[in-house]
Amino acid sequence: MPNSLAIGFLPLVDAALPILALEHGFAEDEGLNLRLVRDLSWATVLDRLLYGHTDAAHMVAPLTIATTLGRGRPAQPLSVPFVLGLNGNAITFRPDLAQQIVGQGQLGDPATVGAKLAAIVKRSPRKLRFGVVHRYSSHNYMLRYWLAGSGIRPDTDVEFTTVAPPFCADALEAGEVDAICVGEPWNSVAVERGVGQIVLATAQVWRRGVEKVLALRQPVLEDKRPQVRALIRALVRAGRHFVDPENWDANAEILARPAYLDGNPTLIRRAISDRLLLRQGGDLVHFPDFMFQYREAANFPWVSQAEWLYTQMVRWDGLPYSPEDAALAARVFRPDVYRSALLGTGEPLPGASSKVEGSLKRRTAVTAQQGAMVLERNQFFDGIAFDPADLAGYIERQT
């Protein structure tokens, strides 16, 4: 069927928009017949996308750039016409370790927690071990950004290991890792089991950090432009539905089904509503914008986001800076396609396609192509902004 689209995903709360677009009939209203394909590792999601089992996929943003640049496998250009959400991850420590670096019942301040952690790392007889979900994940980059900004050298002072999201709590329990950085509901699962305490949300490291994206092979995007535009409109509607408190209970129930997250609706509802239980027996903490799936054109694929991810790939893969690679990476994010899907609808569209990331110290009105756009405060925890006009300089200043 020409209007059928298969979308791959991993069981995570931020796979919500494609799931809700299907379940609430938003895709059908756009004439699309969606089929969702659930997997348990990003490698499988990527293979299915590259070999045409799926047309599009829920994907960790850096993996789209890595695939385009041929990191670890032959290069294949991917395109991202839509961002499925910002942040929504947390850093969860072994409870005994957590209690040494953060007070009970509160999320820590990233700089303070980082300084305390650095002291522990220095006197620890063995290297602390951090679990991330994938080398090319925002989790890895956010965690490393925070550690490095706290004076901890990620590749020498501590160890990193890969843990699939559904097994993060197991890894904490078995002592295979001291901390994990993972999306929901997997931090909360660790808390429920008493094997972890949530210490930071990644939104504290970068207030508006790009997280999962909708990825397609570039030739598929070109072949299926009308369907992709229809899908974007359906996903935007799903985003609006997702953030409306009226729908939280129902959406948590849908996401919890065996075909999707196969999880606990109570934990999923917490994440959707930006609420976190930091430790077993504690109180729920409300952290506004823990997940960010709709407002402020959160789904707009800013070219500067792709470029920031490239700077981190250079940093942590030890690559030489290459203007050609930077340009290839920048072209992965496709604001032009996003705009073409939503032009003439009621959705606000920003005037620019690139911005200085992490530079907004306060609520700011920005120029819009359509509608009104106000962006809230958006900074990195260390206050350093990323200006894509000075990409080479930014890379040079990274340690």
Run of H or E including 172: helix 168-173
Does 259 participate in binding other proteins (rule CB under 8 A)? no
Q: Which two tokens stand for residue 311?
A: 């700077």
Does 41 participate in binding other proteins (rule CB under 8 A)? yes
Does 39 participate in binding other proteins (rule CB under 8 A)? yes
Choose one: 34-42, 99-107, 118-126, 293-301; the region binding other proteins (CB under 8 A).
34-42
Q: Which one of 16, 19, 34, 42 is in contact with other proteins (CB under 8 A)?
A: 42
Does 166 participate in binding other proteins (rule CB under 8 A)? yes
Q: Which amino acid is at 228?
A: V
Residue 21 or 163: the one with the smaller Cβ distance to other proteins is 163
- Report the Cα 341 to chain-centroid distance in Å: 22
Q: Which one of 3, 28, 33, 53 is in contact with other proteins (CB under 8 A)?
A: 53
Residue 48 or 208: the one with the smaller Cβ distance to other proteins is 48
Give the Cα separation of 211 and 162 in Å (integer).
Answer: 18
Q: DSSP letter at 281?
A: T
* Alpha-carbon Rg for the chain in angstroms: 20
Does 44 participate in binding other proteins (rule CB under 8 A)? yes
Residue 223: partners with Cβ closer than 8 Å, 6 or more residues away? none
Does 314 participate in binding other proteins (rule CB under 8 A)? no
CB 225 within 8 A of CB 337: yes
Helices vs strands, H then E, count in the chain: 17, 20
Choose one: 108-116, 158-166, 228-236, 379-387; the region binding other proteins (CB under 8 A).
158-166
Residue 206 or 316: the one with the smaller Cβ distance to other proteins is 316
SS (H, E, C) 301-345: CCHHHHHHHHHHHHHHHCCCCCHHHHHHHHHHECHHHHHHHHCCC
Does 280 participate in binding other proteins (rule CB under 8 A)? no
Does 163 participate in binding other proteins (rule CB under 8 A)? yes
CB atoms within 10 A of CB 183: 29
Does 218 participate in binding other proteins (rule CB under 8 A)? no
Residues 113-152 that bind other proteins (CB under 8 A): 133-135
Q: Which one of 73, 193, 257, 377 is in contact with other proteins (CB under 8 A)?
A: 73
CB atoms within 10 A of CB 229: 18
Choose one: 18-26, 84-92, 156-164, 347-355; the region binding other proteins (CB under 8 A).
156-164
Q: Which one of 72, 103, 351, 371 is in contact with other proteins (CB under 8 A)?
A: 72
Give the Cα separation of 47 and 315 in Å (integer).
Answer: 26
Q: Which one of 93, 146, 167, 206 is in contact with other proteins (CB under 8 A)?
A: 167
- Binding residues for other proteins, total number by CB under 8 A: 22
CB 143 within 8 A of CB 91: yes
Query: Where on the chain is the footprint of other proteins (CB under 8 A)?
Result: 39-44, 47-48, 51, 53, 72-74, 133-135, 161-164, 166-167
